[in-house]
Structure 1
Amino acid sequence: MSAEPVTEPTRNTRPPAAQAALGVGVIVEDGRGRVLLGRHHSGTWELPGGKVDATHESIAAAAARELREETGLAVDEAAVEVIAMVHDVIGGINRVSMAAVVRLASGDPEVTEPHLISAWRWTAPEELPSSLFDPSAQILAAWRPELGIVHPPAHVLRIAPDGGRA
């Protein structure tokens, strides 16, 4: 009897067709409870953040990297708390934004990408501008729903601290 040839399954080795974008928005809270917002050249205000690299980068690592790249503020990945996943659809692509929180005792953000952001400003959550970048508004609303932040519809999945362990 001849043995049948062994073929390796290809299901786990082929990437799926791209149909989603994954990013992270970082709520940076200072010692006075204010949050950090950047003034984009388009006129909107936004949280630091951006895409999660497709290099096995964790959400927390992406948050720390984006914060450092965009503001010059350095935090350890372990200081990043991922609190929620926000999902909406733009142009037929699923947009998944992870909401992360970092607390800093002090820090002076720098404009490191002047082609995108003209200024960073610490703002009390109760005094957020109405001209928020949509994903930032969604993330801030997931963080503090009682603030009544107006934003496009999104699905929110809250993430329990410590992975839900008691």
Structure 2
Amino acid sequence: MSPHPAPATPLIGAGVIVPTLDGRGVLVGRRTVTGEPPTWSLPGGKVDHPGESFEQAAARELAEETGIQLPAEQMRVLGVILDHLADRPRLTAAVLAPPSDAVAEVTEPHACGGWERVALTALPEPMFGPSAWVLGHWLPDPAPLPPGVFSYRTTSDI
């Protein structure tokens, strides 16, 4: 018998940054998950299907959560965040969607109290940790990461 408990299954997902057409805002939702304090969040969720890429998961989750259909081929991974704050490792891809001002619908009322486009200069608080870290891959002045959270940026000049 091993003295160490079995490792928890990692969570693998994508957070989706949907900029406004004018580039001055972003889509966020009021996250209302039972058992957690309310926060603001980007659309996103788990990579659910065998063979699904981060871009495909981002496009699917965006459509499932908001009704907004944007092509996976136009999504771009900016980097990944590894955190150990949820009782298991969580790997979240920061995915940049093409700009859109399409109407966002609440399709999962058990998890979201509404979608809004907010100015980048007035992001609401408190922000769900993984969403804040994903935004840090896109915004010029990211907030510092807490202990146990690691951020890795992709590079396009390789």
TM-score higher than 0.5:
yes
Contact 1:22 1:51 in 2 (8 A): yes
Unaligned 5+ residue runs, structure 2? 1-6
2:3 match: none
Contact 2:79 2:93 in 1 (8 A): yes
CA–CA separation in structure 2 for the residues paired with 1:55 and 1:18: 19
Is 1:26 the equivalent of 2:19? no
Match for 1:27: what amino acid?
Answer: I
Is 1:98 the equivalent of 2:93? yes
Is 1:149 the equivalent of 2:143? yes
1:48 match: 43
CA–CA separation in structure 2 for the residues paired with 1:45 and 1:91: 17
CA–CA separation in structure 2 for the residues paired with 1:111 and 1:105: 16
Instruction: Work out which of the residue numbers 8, 13, 28 in structure 2 matches 1:37.
Output: 28
Contact 2:70 2:98 in 1 (8 A): no
Task: Describe the SS at the equivalent of 1:103.
Answer: coil
Contact 2:8 2:89 in 1 (8 A): no
Return the offset for 1:43.
Answer: 2.0
CA–CA separation in structure 2 for the residues paired with 1:58 and 1:31: 25
CA–CA separation in structure 2 for the residues paired with 1:69 and 1:35: 18
Unaligned 5+ residue runs, structure 1? 1-16
Task: Describe the SS at the equivalent of 2:68.
Answer: coil
Return the offset for 1:91.
Answer: 4.6
TM-score, normalisation: structure 2: 0.84
CA–CA separation in structure 2 for the residues paired with 1:107 and 1:122: 10
Contact 1:134 1:151 in 2 (8 A): no
**Residue correspondence of structure 1 range 155-166 to structure 2 within 5 A:** 155-161=150-156, 164-165=157-158
Task: Describe the SS at the equivalent of 1:63.
Answer: helix
Return the offset for 1:55.
Answer: 1.1
Superposition RMSD on alpha carbons, in Å? 1.8
* Deviations 1:112-158 (CA, angstroms, capped at 9, x unpaired): 11111011000111111121001101111222141x43653421111
Instruction: Work out which of the residue numbers 74, 77, 92 in structure 2 matches 1:79.
Output: 74
Return the offset for 1:19.
Answer: 4.2
